[in-house]
Homo-oligomer: A and B are copies of this chain.
């Protein structure tokens, strides 16, 4: 598994077509996951990221495998962008031993240290200071690794955001704070909870660069994260990047997003990150006409096969709950 994961990690780093494929793969898996839940095949809850694929993949493309990433319960996309396989993600969601952490965590809990993915955290904001800590390791050891926290717009209102970024700034840590502004925290639109238009403006409070980025454009995301990473690796400290994006599905499995104004989804869908990037690759001549659709069909089939395979995988035994409690 690990060599496959590393190869997938590398592909996204080096190949823009692979980035397109990965975005398609994420979308396909997330769609399949919502389907599994709808069918009642899975216990618990899930938080999918359709519409936000460009952020995950653009971030992953800009990072090295030795960099660390802290992300949230809405982590399937980020995990797969970094290299997790559909099996690992779906396996965890379905509670099977093939899951990323052996099926004892569920949808909110993925981890794969070989590609820098720290345990994903289900507590809003928690990853912000944790990423500062991972950056501290790089600074103390004198490596040029960076650490990244990916979190939502809603998380920008919690104390851990404030404390974690402030510490990273005062210690000039090689960290990048990436706010994935998908316009909603659960069922609340950002304007109901956040009194300013751009979370990037909060960088002022910490004396660090803050930038609004088009989160629907994987190239733009990639460029912004690369610049922030270069700055961090050079010892110039952290940055705050706000990726403007949109959550196509509801907050979690049970949410049909009735609170969304009519036409909002459609407006965002016009700039669907997969469609626009596919078109761009065609325009640039990197993909032939019609190839995006073919890739989509192929990748979706592969994902569906992976999901089918997971359905037949073993569940962890009783002993597993006693493992990894204390080292």
Q: Which residue from B159, B169, B196, B208 sits with its C-beta under 8 Å from A159?
A: B159
Bits for A166-208, please: 1 = Cβ < 8 Å to B, else 0. Answer: 1001100000000000000000000011111000011011111
A208 to B196, CA, bound (A): 9
How many residues from A make CB contacts under 8 Å with B? Answer: 22
Give the residues in chain B near A193, CB-CB below 8 Å.
170
Which secondary structure dominates chain A's binding surface? Answer: helix
A289 at the interface (CB under 8 A from B): no
A162 at the interface (CB under 8 A from B): yes
| Copies of this polypeptide in the complex | 2
Chain A residues in contact with chain B, CB under 8 A? Answer: 157-163, 166, 169-170, 192-196, 201-202, 204-208
Q: Which of A157, A195, A204 neighbours the largest number of chain B CB atoms within 10 Å of its CB?
A: A195
Which residue on B lies nearest to A157, using beta carbons? B166
Give the residues in chain B near A196, CB-CB below 8 Å.
204-207
Which residue on B lies nearest to A192, using beta carbons? B170
Q: What are 16 A-B contacts with C-beta separation under 8 Å?
A: A158-B159, A158-B162, A158-B163, A159-B159, A159-B162, A162-B162, A162-B163, A166-B194, A166-B195, A169-B195, A195-B206, A196-B204, A196-B205, A196-B206, A201-B204, A204-B205
A163 near B170 (CB under 8 angstroms)?
Answer: no
A207 to B208, CA, bound (A): 18
Which residue on B lies nearest to A196, using beta carbons? B207
Q: Which of A159, A170, A193 neighbours the largest number of chain B CB atoms within 10 Å of its CB?
A: A159
Given contacts A162-B162, A166-B194, A195-B206, 16 further A-B contacts (CB under 8 A): A157-B162, A157-B163, A157-B166, A158-B162, A158-B163, A159-B162, A162-B163, A169-B195, A170-B193, A195-B207, A196-B204, A196-B205, A196-B207, A201-B204, A202-B205, A205-B205
